[in-house]
Amino acid sequence: MAKKTQKRRILITNDDGYFSDGIEVLFKELSTTDNVVMVAPDREQSASSHSLTLSRPLRMHQLDKNRYFTDGTPTDCILLALQIALKNRVPDFIVSGINHGANMGDDVIYSGTVAAAVEGAILKIPSIAVSMVDHKPGMPMLRAARFVHKLLDAYDTFDFGPGTLLNVNLPPDNGKPYNRYQFTRQGNRVYKDMVIRKNDPRGRDYYWIGGHPKWRRIKGSDFVAVQKGLVSLTPMGLEFTDFDILQRLTECPVKI
């Protein structure tokens, strides 16, 4: 691997908030070799997906020379970072995370962590979303950040095309370096009781969206890899078109 001749410019964000352990450890680790700028939400924005704030003005505050927080979503953070914090200087990488909890399978659709990386990929900037599965408060994240550091050093060898992002899920920290990984496909899970109804003390109904997921054990999937103690690396694209069906409909058009 060629020796780095200059510091890279890396933008980091998350959906857990600028105060979270994951982003703090990531900032410190990457700053040992690179120029790192952080722009993150001022509160938890889990499941915010790819939302933009269009109905109100955004506020942005500076913690120090290279760290900012805003009252917007993770996607807002990317746009504010590029135009305001970085003054339109394009970063070499965007890293979203380290998220406190998994972002595997269908959950990537809802994830604010993944959405920030998607925004980077839309802008043709190499982007990575990073999550630690089953993270518990106080669980060490330095070894996870060091894995991300190594991943960035090797990123060029993956030869990803424009519009591809990498979704990374790490198993819980077991006190050993993360050395074992697998390139995986997106898994699939089914939630039982997705909407849970409860009653308040006055007898009125209220609802929680949640439930307990049951994962399908699909060979080569992110979930199966993490269950084996491997880091899951899932390359993801921006194209939603189902080309097989498109070809069939084009060759044998259906009358409407």
Residue 121 lies in a domain: yes
Give, in degrees to the nearest 5, the angle at Cα 96 between 91 and 102.
160
Taking residues 192-216, what's their average pLDDT? 84
Reduce the secondary structure of 151-213 to three states and give it as a string: HHHHHHHHCCCCCCEEEEEECCCCCCCCCCEEECECCCEEEECCEEEEECCCCCEEEEECCEE
Residue 210 has pLDDT above 50, yes or no: yes
Taking residues 83-93, what's their average pLDDT? 96
Residue 202 lies in a domain: no
Residue 13 lies in a domain: yes
Q: Model confidence over 126-149: pLDDT tens digits?
A: 999 999 999 998 999 999 999 999
Taking residues 21-29, what's their average pLDDT? 98
Domain count, the chain: 1
The DSSP result for 54-116, as a single string, is -SS---EEEEETTEEEESS-HHHHHHHIIIIISTTPPPSEEEEEEEES---GGGGGT-HHHHH
Contact assessment for residue 13 and residue 116, using Cβ atoms and an 8 Å cutoff: yes
Residue 192 lies in a domain: no
Q: Which domain holds residue 131?
A: 9-187+216-251
Residue 210 lies in a domain: no
Residue 169 has pLDDT above 80, yes or no: yes
Query: What's the CATH code of the domain at 19?
Result: 3.40.1210.10
Residue 85 has pLDDT above 60, yes or no: yes
Q: Model confidence over 27-55: pLDDT tens digits?
A: 999 999 999 999 999 999 888 899 999 99
Cα–Cα distances in angstroms (integers) from residue 170 to residues 145, 164, 179, 231, in the given order: 10, 20, 11, 5
Q: What is the distance between the terminal CA atoms of the chain, rounded to a whole angstrom?
A: 56
Residue 198 lies in a domain: no
Residue 174 lies in a domain: yes
Distance CA 95, CA 233 (A): 14
Residue 132 lies in a domain: yes
pLDDT the model gives residue 193: 65
Indicate left, alpha or beta for 175 from its phi (over 0: left) and psi (-120 to 50: alpha): left
Residue 3 has pLDDT above 80, yes or no: no
pLDDT the model gives residue 88: 92
